[in-house]
Structure 1
């Protein structure tokens, strides 16, 4: 896999897809930021001040219940942005966005993004295509969590992250995975053991190393392919200029 300069804003697929005129307007206003593990980019019910375009970081979107319980509805990495409620007219959202894999990203002031979206040009079309892909991921996650086995869900969860990372290793605890999938930790432990015994992963001390990505793809349910196909159909390649 070729090395990617994650300090370059255009290592994010959406930013890379901006036409030259739009990029010239955006570039001076994009701020490169370090995103720490566990950092909350926006909380449930809060008004967003910025949108974030991850380059090497990964954020999870959680739906938060009234009793504080939550589950992951989608993952966002270098293919997209965090903060679609800004241009969808809601200003705030009942979900929460939290950094799960530390790394880099760029942020843009909320009003700046709204102004660009309201120009009704190529930026609007690009962001709406991204939103459709994200909605597909959210819908498929809901279906997957209802109808498929936990080890299939874990395979999907791992593959979606591998698509957004360089390398085949993730730093994550089983407790964190359980919280994101909305299941008990014991269930994640059993699912991870099955995948490890099948030679697909190695898990130790909060790290998961994927040993056989093709094997994960063969073992997962249809949901991963549905989501990946929709992202590939709607969004340009990450390295597009």
Structure 2
């Protein structure tokens, strides 16, 4: 894992991550005191399957991480969930440094807030609000995994690719640094299949692809091509987490 920048930072931009933005003041003070800002490159791994998870990460801005399940003795991997500035990685469901089931790999480089697991567990113990927030995000993350299973089983690769590109655009903007090999691995298909899909989407004017960079050209057309999984997950996030005006926050 390459860490280009690492420092204790009193000026963490909590507004750059939706979970951090909802944290109460006491939790923010703890994160300022014990968290650090790190910069990750594409391909960096936050943790490996079977290894203890001793850190939590909050992606900021466009940074995106994929949770990958390894198949066939590490020769093949497929993405089961992707996490950007709407969420966090590590310690979402479990308490303490338990082994990871998946591999967490950076897909879009950028900054994250890194927090020791012990600190994050203490914050959750001290704050009913943070515990509720994590429970609700765990619900959303599980929904994403279940939606991914259904999508991979029943939806055509063109619709799945369009959905993935729309989600990536939401997090990283119109210009995505992504090789076709990487996209094939994320979607669990052969590179030749992705070549054909990318060529079709480009011929229809939805994307432009050259030298490892995909640019979204026609969002509306891409949305029509995507499966309904994208909208379903977006609606579910708004229902279970929402923003500072959500009813559940008043109850906490």
Deviating 4+ runs (over 6 angstroms): none
SS class of match (1:118): helix
Task: Name the counterpart of 2:48.
Answer: 43
- TM-score of the aligned structures, taking structure 2 as reference length: 0.87
Task: Name the counterpart of 1:10.
Answer: 15
Deviation at 1:120, TM superposition (A): 5.6
SS class of match (2:205): coil
SS class of match (1:78): coil
Higher relative contact order (CA 8 A, sep 6+): 1
1:182 corresponds, among 188, 195, 209, to: 188
Matched, 1:98 2:105: yes
1:61 corresponds, among 64, 67, 87, to: 67
Map of 1:136-175 to 2, 5 A cutoff?
136-165=143-172, 167-175=173-181
1:109 corresponds, among 116, 124, 135, to: 116
Task: Name the counterpart of 1:134.
Answer: 141
Deviation at 1:115, TM superposition (A): 1.7
Call closer, same or farther: CA 1:9–1:150 in 2, change over 3 Å.
same
SS class of match (1:51): strand
147-156 or 16-25, which deviates more: 16-25
1:218 corresponds, among 224, 231, 235, to: 224
1:99-156 Cα shifts (integer Å, max 9, x gaps): 1111011010011111222336000000111111111111111111110111101011
SS class of match (1:92): coil
Deviation at 1:61, TM superposition (A): 0.5
Matched, 1:80 2:62: no
Gaps of 5+ in 1: 1-5
Q: In angstroms, what is the RMSD of aligned CA positions?
A: 2.0
Q: Distance in 1 between matches of 2:22 and 2:157?
A: 36
Task: Name the counterpart of 1:201.
Answer: 207
Contact 1:13–1:236 (8 Å) recurs in 2: no
Gaps of 5+ in 2: 1-10, 247-252
Deviation at 1:9, TM superposition (A): 3.6
- TM-score of the aligned structures, taking structure 1 as reference length: 0.90
116-125 or 151-160, which deviates more: 116-125
Q: How many residues matched?
A: 233
